[in-house]
Amino acid sequence: MLTNTGTAHTQLLDDFCTAVARDMTQLVTLHNAEADNTLIQSLKQAGFPTALGLRLESKDAHDAMMLVEQALAEMPDPLGEQYTDELAVDYAGIYLTHAYRASPNESVWTDEEHLERQQSMFEVREYYHRYGLGAANWRKRADDHLVLQLEFLAHLFGEEQRDEVFTTAARFMDEHLLRWLMPFANRVAGRCATPFYAGISLLTGAYCEELRNILADILEEPRPTSEETEARMQQSKPVSVDVPITFVPGAGGPSW
């Protein structure tokens, strides 16, 4: 039977967006809160991570998937207090106490002094605002936190117009998420105590890297180098101009 190739191509892209949105939502769940018995059992029942919508092909992705699969297979059903406590302590070390020195906030990786809530946070916030989104409480979880960046991608692939999502997602990943995600993932994997969180961090990094490569194919544009991305970001920043200050009586001058 003959089919309309344009329609078929459109359907493939729609299915791709749906799959990525679901996968991103799943990754958000894994990074958002400590794993408990309910989550672990749901992952096992769903066949995670082989049941991911995006078929990952890179060696890094396969290695990470095997690590997660093995970690899940070794966990008892039900989970039990020992495993629950180990996962809770590991989650806290990554996301709450920063015991592993692997911050889930972008600014720490991109700021010269490795401080939180710096320029990267405000740049990410601008991306969110363009789509009517914002952090629920930026003081508790900064805009450039891993969970919120993954949520933003889930939103793009799940709700935005397909013609726009690919370009925006690619640029956002270049300028923000992929500048620091693999260093974060590798440090977590090297320092955390459980194979589960080591695998989840590596899988998240490998997934996003492979997704970006697919976007390059869709857009028919090669991924920019880090130097090219940095130059583009510098060009897009507003130019500051020194303007002489004019004193206006009663408008914020010294009170003495």
For residue 181, what are its two tokens? Answer: 């995600």
Q: DSSP characters for 10-45? A: HHHHHHHHHHHHHHHHHHHHHHHS---HHHHHHHHH
Length of the chain: 256
Residuewise pLDDT in 10s, the chain (256 residues): 434 456 778 889 999 999 999 999 999 999 999 999 999 999 999 999 999 999 999 999 999 999 999 999 999 999 999 999 999 999 999 999 999 999 999 999 999 999 999 999 999 999 999 999 999 999 999 999 999 999 999 999 998 777 789 999 999 999 999 999 999 999 999 999 999 999 999 999 999 999 999 999 999 999 999 899 988 888 876 433 333 332 222 333 222 1
**What is the sign of the dihedral through the CA atoms of 146, 189, 95 and 100?**
negative
- What's the token pair of residue 224? 């920019």
Compute CA distances 45 → 38, 50, 68, 77, 171, whole Å: 11, 11, 14, 11, 35
Sequence letter at residue 56? L
| Cα 53–Cα 44–Cα 71 angle in degrees, nearest 5 | 100
CATH number for the domain running over 10-228: 1.10.3480.10
The answer to whether 121 and 128 are in contact (CB under 8 A) is no
Is 143 within 8 Å of 125 (Cβ atoms)? yes
pTM for this model (two decimals): 0.89
With residue 244 as reference, give the H or E element that holds it: none
Collapse the DSSP code of 187 into the 3-class scheme (helix H, G, I; strand E, B; otherwise coil) and give the result. helix
